[in-house]
Amino acid sequence: MAELTATPVLPPVRRFSMFARTVGGVAAIGVKELRGRMRGRRAFIILTIYLLLLGGFALMVEKIVEANYQFGFGGVQAQASPAIGQAIFTALLMLMTLQVVFLAPSSTAGAISLEREKQTLELLVTTPISSLAIVIGKLLSALIYVFLLIAASVPLMAAVFVFGGVAPEDVIRGYVVLIVTAIGLGSFGLLCSSVVKRTTAATAITIFGVLAISIGTIFVLAFWQAMASFDQNGNRRPGPLGIRAPTPVAWINPFMAQADVLCGIGSDASFGGMWCSLISGLVPSNDGVIVTDGGPVPIPGPILQPVPAVPEKGVLQFGRGIAAADVAAVPPQPFGVPRDGLWTRSVALWLGLSALFLILSVQAVSPTRRWRLRRGRRTTPSVGP
């Protein structure tokens, strides 16, 4: 039998190499996960099918819009090409958002709890690998497939430039929201996985959370909207719940963020305008003016936008509201649609939430260095007796 090496194989421990050690740990977990996940043809067959479906979907959207214009439903035929581009962009972006919103958290929801159930977590935490490296490694290796799907869609998405109507910045905005959403909801799934012991329960809680984020928030906004009332001038009046829902309710919804991106592609086309009106309907920004005894008071708010003195007629647009004429003192915006009001905040919120979720996950994974929630009574460690 072979002798073990007599010389120590471990590199000396250095204080300043904490970062390098974390990166090494993340790499170790990543290599392990990807070896299991990407073995054989399965992953690549799934990717191929996914791209075929996505491409077929884009083609169908193109045909539908084209047909509409052919029979004169969409408007002037000369505008058909940008409309097709915008339609494909809208369809692909929303479809991919839907996919990310469900795929990212469900792929992380078992990351830690499965290790716990298979009794491999203890082997892992008794190595010098840090809990932070375990959490980050698990997140990245679970998300890497989601990122792969996103990256694989880029050439398909580039087809919108053939038709026009969508600027490269719009596409970049859309992808930024997609990636941040994947990280944010992936971290959420990971937190559920590390706090809840069983994978089935962790997955269920994650899915409920995702539904609350994507559908529940819309419901809350719509309910608030319904509770508000308008005076005879069309000004929003405070209802029993106040004048409007807290805007963070909208930021947390990735679909609202994407709607904001789509709103930005241009007000002239029906597709952009549709999303703008959806947002201004659900998230009244600066449009409403509270009429008090002292006169009109503009509502300060995070989505405050410069408002043009004279709104365009006939089109209801995000940021140009019902009562915009009342706020004549505000200087007019020179050109373009007011944009980036919502998705930037959504991205910032989700990056913050991701960091919070990951910190909590690290605490839940770490066997001994857990925060004491209550003094005097020690919490039961996650890897129990």
Instruction: Tell me which residues touch other proteins (CB under 8 A).
Output: 1-5, 8-11, 13, 21, 24-25, 27-28, 31-32, 35-37, 39, 117-120, 122-129, 367-369, 378, 380-381, 383, 385
What residues contact 42, with CB distance under 8 A and at least 6 apart?
none
- Kindly state the smallest distance separating residue 373's Cβ from other proteins, in Å: 14
213 φ, ψ to 5°?
A: -70, -40
What residues contact 57, with CB distance under 8 A and at least 6 apart?
91, 92, 95
- Kindly state the smallest distance separating residue 134's Cβ from other proteins, in Å: 9
d(CA 180, CA 147): 11
- Which three-class secondary structure state does DSSP give residue 239? strand
- Kindly state the smallest distance separating residue 139's Cβ from other proteins, in Å: 17
Identify which of residues 313 and 372 has a Cβ nearer to other proteins in the complex.
372
Identify which of residues 31 and 172 has a Cβ nearer to other proteins in the complex.
31
Burial of 93 (0-12, 13-18, 19+ CB in 10 A): buried
- Kindly state the smallest distance separating residue 131's Cβ from other proteins, in Å: 11
- Kindly state the smallest distance separating residue 18's Cβ from other proteins, in Å: 10
Q: How many Cα atoms occupy the beta-carbon half-sphere of 142 within 13 Å?
A: 29
- Kindly state the smallest distance separating residue 98's Cβ from other proteins, in Å: 29
Element (H, E) at 213: none
Identify which of residues 121 and 146 has a Cβ nearer to other proteins in the complex.
121
Identify which of residues 114 and 330 has a Cβ nearer to other proteins in the complex.
114
Identify which of residues 127 and 229 has a Cβ nearer to other proteins in the complex.
127
Can you state the angle between helices 18-37 and 131-152, rounded to 10 degrees? 50
- Kindly state the smallest distance separating residue 208's Cβ from other proteins, in Å: 28
Among 317, 339, 172, residue whose Cα is nearest residue 264: 339
Identify which of residues 300 and 385 has a Cβ nearer to other proteins in the complex.
385
Identify which of residues 233 and 379 has a Cβ nearer to other proteins in the complex.
379
Cα dist from 112 to 109, 194, 202, 218, 365, whole Å: 8, 5, 10, 31, 8
